[in-house]
């Protein structure tokens, strides 16, 4: 990469970058962390105020979007949320790279979507270097509680991811997948009676 490439450029390109000592990235994280703090401390019944702050946090949000408190993310602007999105309590999105959700996505409590990872090599890891890989979730996907989705994963349309799963590899459309590591256990057949 050229000398004019920033740590943010490296982050979004999936390259190793320094998130811990880069002033620009630190400021961006503090900005959204303050917004998340504010969001998490609004009365749950004050839906209008919650929604206004959520719009300031997220990079792209459709009208029908509910994220229960508390909610935490790293940057916010890398999160793309489709129509009719619902996330239960304690959602964490480490969005150092794009996290894209399709329409009609439902997420159980205590779930996390982590684009960030660290090198296996201890020397690089100890320098504070990390990488971030995109996560993409299709339409009509339901996640049970306590699901973790790791960097670089794509989950297709019409999937159900069982509670407690750790998704470390792509899941094809029309699948029920569970476990640690998460594996497809059944294909979802298209209903002909509708």
Structure tokens at 82: 């489709």
Strand partners, 184: 177
Residues noted as catalytic? 118
Structure tokens at 88: 């239960």
Left (φ > 0), alpha (ψ -120 to 50) or beta: where does 154 sit? beta
Left (φ > 0), alpha (ψ -120 to 50) or beta: where does 108 sit? beta
Longest dimension (CA), the chain: 60
From the list 116, 89, 86, 111, the residue with the least C-alpha distance to 101 is 86
Dist CA 103 CA 91 (whole Å)? 18
Query: Using an 8 Å Cβ cutoff, are 133 and 150 in contact?
Result: no
The distance of Cα 2 from the centroid of its chain, to the nearest Å, equals 29
| DSSP 8-state assignment for residue 171 | B
């Amino acid at each position: 990469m050229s000398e004019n490439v920033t740590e943010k450029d490296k982050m979004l390109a999936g390259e190793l970058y320094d998130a811990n000592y880069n002033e620009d990235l630190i400021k961006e994280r503090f900005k959204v962390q303050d917004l998340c703090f504010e969001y998490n401390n609004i009365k749950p019944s004050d839906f209008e105020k919650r929604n206004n702050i959520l719009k300031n946090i997220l990079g792209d949000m459709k009208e029908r979007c509910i994220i229960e408190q508390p909610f935490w993310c790293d940057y916010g602007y890398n999160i793309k949320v489709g129509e009719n999105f619902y996330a239960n309590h304690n959602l964490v999105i480490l969005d150092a790279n794009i996290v894209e959700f399709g329409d009609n996505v439902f997420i159980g409590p205590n779930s996390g979507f982590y684009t960030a990872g660290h090198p296996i090599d201890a020397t690089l890891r100890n320098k504070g270097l990390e990488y971030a890989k995109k996560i993409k979730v299709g339409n009509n996907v339901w996640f049970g509680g306590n699901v973790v989705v790791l960097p670089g994963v794509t989950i297709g349309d019409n999937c159900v991811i069982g509670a407690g799963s750790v998704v470390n590899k792509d899941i094809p459309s029309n699948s029920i997948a569970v476990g640690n590591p998460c594996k497809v256990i059944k294909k979802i057949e298209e209903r002909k009676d509708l």
